Amino acid sequence: MSLEDDATAERKMQFLFALRSKGVMDQAVLTAMERIDRGRFVRGLFAERAYEDTPLPIACGQTISQPSVVALMTQALEVSARDKVLEVGTGSGYQAAILSLLARRVYTVDRHKRLVREAREVFEELDLVNITAFTSDGSFGLPDQAPFDRIIVTAAAEDPPGPLLAQLKIGGIMVLPVGQSDTVQSLIRVRRTETGFDYDELRPVRFVPLIEGIARDN
């Protein structure tokens, strides 16, 4: 092995160790996290910090989530290989890429056209052909493709948006942060049952807010 390979292997081990130490136990999730190189989703100045367990700035004033949070949300979503998944908040595309290795099909939407365009480029480079990315206001879900087996929201709303609850299949799971922006939010998991919705609270998190409407800087 060359020195460079050594450094890469060491970095990968530390990255996976950080995930395990934060409670990520699901082997399929760990394997997906190992296979998708986060460095492809962070550009410019911050690229060299891509393997740290920290959120980082991306274009349009948004952030790529912390890897351990991505892993814990993915684990909580209990994705299976038959699932059709909706992600609200494409951002860098990193979370969608992880999901694409676990699910049958991933739809991801963002209100910033530029983020969608850049994420699509990376999906293409990595040959992740089961992801479809759209520019749209994800608080309305994606009615044309509904219902979904799994929904993940990576921006915080005060409450779970009604259209997203409505687009979840019976037996389906949604994972999302809720709470006022700039205060502590809670990551919650919603399961749709025959008769309603069951909620459980997973942990405190901090996400950028879910904002209504397509961004004006598009």
Please say which residue, 42 or 173, places its beta carbon nearer to ligand SAH: 42
Nearer to ligand SAH, 68 or 154 (CB): 154
Least distance to ligand SAH, CB of residue 195, Å: 29
- Nearest approach in angstroms of CB 63 to ligand SAH is 5
CA distances from residue 24 to 32, 68, 100 in whole angstroms, order as listed: 12, 8, 18
Q: Could you give the CA distance from residue 192 to residue 118 in angstroms, rounded to a whole number?
A: 33
For residue 166, what are the contacts with CB-CB under 8 A and spacing of at least 6? 141, 146
Q: Which stretches of the chain bind ligand SAH, using CB under 6 A?
A: 62-65, 88-89, 91-92, 94-95, 109-112, 115, 137-139, 154-155, 208, 210-212
In what order do the strands lie in the sheet containing 105-110?
Answer: 131-135, 105-110, 84-88, 148-153, 168-178, 185-192, 197-205
Query: Which pairing describes strands 185-192 and 148-153: parallel, antiparallel, or unpaired?
Result: unpaired
- Of the pair 8, 63, the CB lying nearest ligand SAH is at 63
Question: DSSP letter string over 10-59?
Answer: HHHHHHHHHHHHTT---HHHHHHHHHS-GGGG--GGGGGGTTSSS-EE-G
Nearest distance from residue 213's CB to ligand SAH, in Å? 7
Residue closer to ligand SAH by CB (options 16, 60) is 60
Residues serving a catalytic function are 65
- Residue 100 CB, shortest distance to ligand SAH, in Å, is 12
